[in-house]
Amino acid sequence: MGNGTSVSNIENFTNLTTGSKNDTINFSQRFNNNINTGSGNDTINSGLGIDTVDGGLGIDVLIVDYSSNTYTGNPPQAGIGTSIYSNGAGGFNGSYGAYYNSSYNSDSVSFSNIERFSITGTSANDNITTGTGNDIINGGDGNDIINGGDGNDTINGGDGNDTITGGAGINIIDGGAGTDTLIDANFSTATISLSFVDTGSTQTPITLSNGTSISNFE
């Protein structure tokens, strides 16, 4: 699509290629999309379905929102599964996927050349890992395993007994409801003093000296 093109009232793009500008693409329905955003700092939400996304050059953000997937039955890993690895050029390749019904139908997105992620989990037990950019992760319900990697991440475990790895960076980490475990926040090499006070049912956020904050960890 050329720069300046406007498209409306189209439900499905079999193949969508954009130009060198900063593009915003937002799908919400369950179709199989093939998206290539070229250069530019792009924000891409491919929606539901079996999708392929290539961010191309630039600092690109991939949005994955599977919160409408409420199937929590067998197989045990009904929630989001992650495959992610560095592409060697500052971005990441991989995939996210999750079942959405008992017939094992799934939504997934295979991605390449993505620098930042915004991931919203399912009602089941999600396993979510992101890269080294400034990412946003919301686990939702379920006993989630979340790894934000490096970067200044914002992580909310949501309901359930979650296990969260913050990684390096100035992170904001909220365990949410449930009995949650913070594995490694890797706050800094400086000396940091933490004090935990029993306040009954009230959970008070703790702000660390380098700007990292953690809350709702039992």
pLDDT digits (tens, 9 = 90+) for 105-122: 999 999 999 999 999 999
Question: Any idea how long the chain is?
Answer: 218
CB of 155 closer than 8 Å to CB of 166: yes
- Give domain status of residue 32, yes or no: yes
Give the pLDDT confidence score for residue 209 in this predicted structure.
44
Domains contained in the chain, number: 1
- Give domain status of residue 105, yes or no: yes
Give the pLDDT confidence score for residue 210 in this predicted structure.
61
Give the pLDDT confidence score for residue 191 in this predicted structure.
46
β 106-114/92-99 pair status: antiparallel
Question: Quick one: what percent of the chain has pLDDT higher than 90?
Answer: 57
Tens digit of each residue's pLDDT (9 = 90 or more) over 53-67: 999 999 999 999 999
- Give domain status of residue 209, yes or no: no
- Give domain status of residue 153, yes or no: yes
**Residue 72 carries which side chain, given as an amino acid letter?**
T
**Spans in the chain with pLDDT lower than 50:** 190-199, 201, 204, 207, 209
Give the pLDDT confidence score for residue 196 in this predicted structure.
46
Q: Is 83 helix (H, G, I), strand (E, B) or coil?
A: strand
Degrees (nearest 5) of the Cα angle 25, 124, 161?
A: 115
CA–CA distance, 11 with 26 (Å, rounded to integer): 11
Give the pLDDT confidence score for residue 73 in this predicted structure.
76
How many angstroms separate the most distant Cα atoms in the chain? 60
- Give domain status of residue 214, yes or no: no
- Give domain status of residue 97, yes or no: yes
Bridge partners, 65 (sequence order)? 120
- Give domain status of residue 143, yes or no: yes
Give the pLDDT confidence score for residue 163 in this predicted structure.
94
- Give domain status of residue 203, yes or no: no
Which residues constitute the domain of residue 35?
A: 16-165
Which pairs with CB-CB distance under 8 Å and at least 24 residues apart come from 207-211?
210/170, 211/170
Give the pLDDT confidence score for residue 215 in this predicted structure.
65
Give the pLDDT confidence score for residue 103 in this predicted structure.
85
